[in-house]
Structure 1
Amino acid sequence: ATIKEVKMNWVEDFLYAIADPNIAYILLSLAMLGLMVEITNPGLIFPGVVGGICGLLAFYSLGMLPVNYAGVLLVVLAFGLFIAEVFTTTFGLFTAGGITSLVIGSLILFKGGPLFQINPWLIAIVSISIAALFAFVINRVIKAHRHQATTGREELVGKTAIVKVALEPEGTVFFKGERWTAVSEKGRVEPGEEVIITKVDGLKLYVTKK
């Protein structure tokens, strides 16, 4: 019998290349980051598109590898905690939990021994980068809260804010570059629409559609 060698085409070469634990981990991280940015900043589109593409490639790559689904769930939980940090502002509690979950999930993401282990340096780089990003975000949030506490109510009432997260009736608005929790007094208001501040209750704004 004659043995004929058949070379892979470029698509097969690409799919073979991404079926690697480190590549799969990078794709999964980029997918989660892209979707996280899109969820916390609706309307940017580009991060969501990139995150979606990386997510599909990550699922293909993970499907070709001996995945430990407990590790996958821990990584997904980590990014869920990161998103929760943005919306609830626990001043680092959710971020610390997310980093812990991410590191543990990354270490047990694949079965099959050393051959399928993610490079520890890659895990460290991803974890430190995310920790640094959220340290910056938390610092901005703390400064914003301090500023909000000293901002006179008279300055806010009657001013215009931009809806960031849909008010149904509660959501988030931007006023002078700062994120505020807001409640719509007259129905749902979509992201990007302008609202008028009618009342301030602590750190919560009451608004009506402009």
Structure 2
Amino acid sequence: MKRIRLIFFSLMMLFSIGLSLVPIQAQGDGSDKLVYYIPVEQEVERGLVAFLQRSINTALEDGADHIVFEINTPGGLVAAANEIAALIENTPTPTTAFVIDEAMSAGAYISLKADQIVMVPGARMGAAQVISGGDGNAADDKAHSAWLATMKAAAEGNDRDPLYALAMADPSIDLPEYRAGVDDLLSLTASEALEVGYAEAIASNREELLQFLGLENAREQEMEVSFAEQIARFVTNPIVISILLSVASLGLVLELYSPGFGVPGIMGASALFLFFFGHHVAGFAGMETFILFAVGVVLLLIEIFVPGFGIFGIIGIGAIIGSMVLASYSMSVVLTSLLIAAILTIIVSIIFFKYVGYKGPLKRVVLKDSIKTEEGYISNVTRSEIVGRTGEALTALRPSGTALIEDERLDVVSEGGFIAKGSKVKVVSTSGSRIVVRESKTND
């Protein structure tokens, strides 16, 4: 009996050991690992920052073991690139920049911030010279020097030779073997990046990438840009901001020239909605901006319908402009856009007012009628029948006074000179109640 118990106990121990080996095997093939793919596509701008912030937070909350940034961008705003680089650098989970087509300009800088870089065959990385926002030319020496230091630090952060990062941003660095120098910026192909240590591997697809990472059997999750984030990325573009504010200003002003509420008003209101909605999704516009905008609108309505000294209108316009500045990521961008919108609105308003005329809702509160003599409105009767008649000055004219004209006492004024009391005078002109006389000579 004891032998049977011993055999049974031994079998149970072997069975327990076998069960304990199952999870160990699962951990060995990587099936318990989670890899997140986050796209970094199109231009680098503020809307992309908000998307990447949400994506990284989601990956961390889901317990991702590795985050792959799939990069395909021509570059974009330096300020946005700096924010994205900070997000990647502060991510505790291991990161990989997977360049699936091009990582140019700001895209190259973002790639250098990842723990490692993997490129597909034919992908390119480089050409990262900082340019001015207005004319597309190279930035001034101060901005250029700061950008070179930024690129150098990004390369050194992952033990890469900073020479190549500097050559991507400075055309004066001569690397003829890689087509750099003589005003040409460095752009590396996948094989060249691998050669100089700016890529750890070349992978044709995600499967090869996971093999390189040792996560062949890992679970995969892909982040997608939501429709709201797509709108945010679109409307936070500086060019689009200028267009939206111009359409909003033109639409709302032209609505004042049209009876009822029609297409111009709808277009203007829609443009304003897109501006604030996009910046709200991107994380720039909070509730305070909407409240400030609403206060501005109410003050403008008070100024229109309540007689005042313009104070409500001035404060209202200031509140609306302030709400737009608060909602935007750059004061210079929004103020420039507002200036463009104001100029276009003034020009179009003048054209409409001249050739179309005013037919808007404020027509009822604006007095446009005028009183004309031709229409029978007479404030004073013009005594044209007494022109040429003579009389006597009853008082001295200095130059106004009283004269007796054909037995009628009248208030008169001389042509400018002094006329003594008792002098003979002659009426030379009349206009309403004004009767002009001059001293009469014996031969008049």
Name the TM tier (shorter chain).
0.3 to 0.5
Bigger Rg over Cα: 2
TM-score, normalised by the number of residues in structure 1 = 0.43
Structure with the bigger RCO (C-alpha within 8 Å, sep 6+) is: 1
